[in-house]
């Protein structure tokens, strides 16, 4: 199941159908219930030790209080992707009111605000891929242009691969076991300044860029993880390979 947001009712209906297939023995990647339960921005709240200060609210006064406390913040909708409708707001910004009104539709919809992490400018927004609870060996740092705040390739950011650091591995150690337990075999963590800002479960990207730079085969690692969940299929595949080998 792989589809870019929006996460709408058609998406929900699709997970219902896939969950019925799962009950009849199909392996669905990622697991339908997890796709419904793990909103990519809200699910970070399950791992506060991994995240910068974050508030999810419909209250515009609470957003203003958060801005006063942290001086500079990021505000975005819960359903967006690719850098859409992301605002950086500084204390005293006269546009703050209209941004909060727009994001919450005048207090009727939830939105998210996070403390601004200045590392976005220097080291970018890194996509750390997690395959069946384990980190891929490299991350894709997405560095904004000089005229933009957004570390999204779709918004013009530059992608640069890098090796994982100790903090990346610690973050995956905190979050990965839960992802594995809940059937989320392919997930992307967005990491800025050592903090997770999103947990992407619907359609994480970065594989092609990393494969091109480091000559890896990350899709192959995912297929290996899927085959481990399907022992009968793995044995059949192995038998087929042996049958094709003239020496056997």
Q: Which domains does the chain have, with CATH numbers?
A: 48-115 (3.30.1490.20), 119-229 (3.30.470.20)
> In 77-217, which ranges are continuous DSSP H helix?
96-104, 119-122, 166-181, 207-214
The owner of tokens 């919450």 is: 104
> Cα angle at 183 between 223 and 51, to 5 degrees?
105
CB 62 within 8 A of CB 55: yes
Residue 199 exposed, middle or buried by CB count within 10 Å (0-12, 13-18, 19+): buried
d(CA 96, CA 94): 5
pLDDT, one tens digit per residue, over 172-228 is 999 999 999 999 999 999 999 999 999 999 999 899 999 999 999 999 999 999 999
Catalytic residues: 41, 76, 127, 142, 150, 190, 198, 200
Supply the pTM of this predicted model. 0.86
Cis peptide before 168 (omega within 30 of 0): no
Q: How far apart are CA 136 and CA 47, in angstroms?
A: 20
Q: How confident is the model at residue 154 (pLDDT cuts 50, 70, 90)?
A: low
Per-residue pLDDT at 65 exceeds 50: yes
């Amino acid at each position: 199941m792989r589809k870019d947001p929006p996460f709408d009712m058609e998406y929900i209906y699709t997970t219902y159908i896939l969950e019925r297939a799962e009950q009849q023995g199909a392996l669905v990647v990622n697991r339908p219930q997890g796709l419904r339960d793990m909103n990519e921005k809200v699910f970070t709240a399950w791992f506060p030790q991994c995240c910068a200060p974050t508030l999810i609210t419909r209250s515009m006064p609470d957003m203003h209080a958060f801005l006063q406390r942290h001086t500079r913040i990021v505000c975005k909708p819960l359903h967006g992707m690719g850098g859409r409708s992301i605002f950086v707001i500084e204390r005293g910004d006269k546009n703050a009111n209209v941004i909060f009104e727009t994001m919450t539709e005048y207090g009727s919809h939830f939105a998210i605000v996070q403390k601004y992490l200045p590392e976005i400018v220097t080291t970018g927004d890194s996509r750390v891929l997690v395959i069946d609870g384990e980190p891929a060996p490299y991350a894709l740092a997405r560095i904004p242009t000089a005229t933009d705040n957004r570390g999204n390739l779709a918004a013009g950011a530059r992608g640069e691969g890098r090796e994982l650091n100790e903090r990346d591995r610690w973050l995956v150690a905190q979050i990965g076991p839960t992802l594995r337990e809940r059937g989320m075999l392919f997930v992307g963590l967005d990491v800025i300044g050592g903090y997770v800002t999103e947990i992407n479960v619907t359609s994480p990207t970065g594989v092609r860029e990393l494969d091109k730079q480091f000559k890896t085969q990350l899709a192959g690692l995912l297929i290996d993880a899927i085959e481990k969940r399907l022992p009968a299929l793995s044995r059949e595949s192995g038998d087929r390979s042996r049958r094709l080998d003239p020496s056997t």
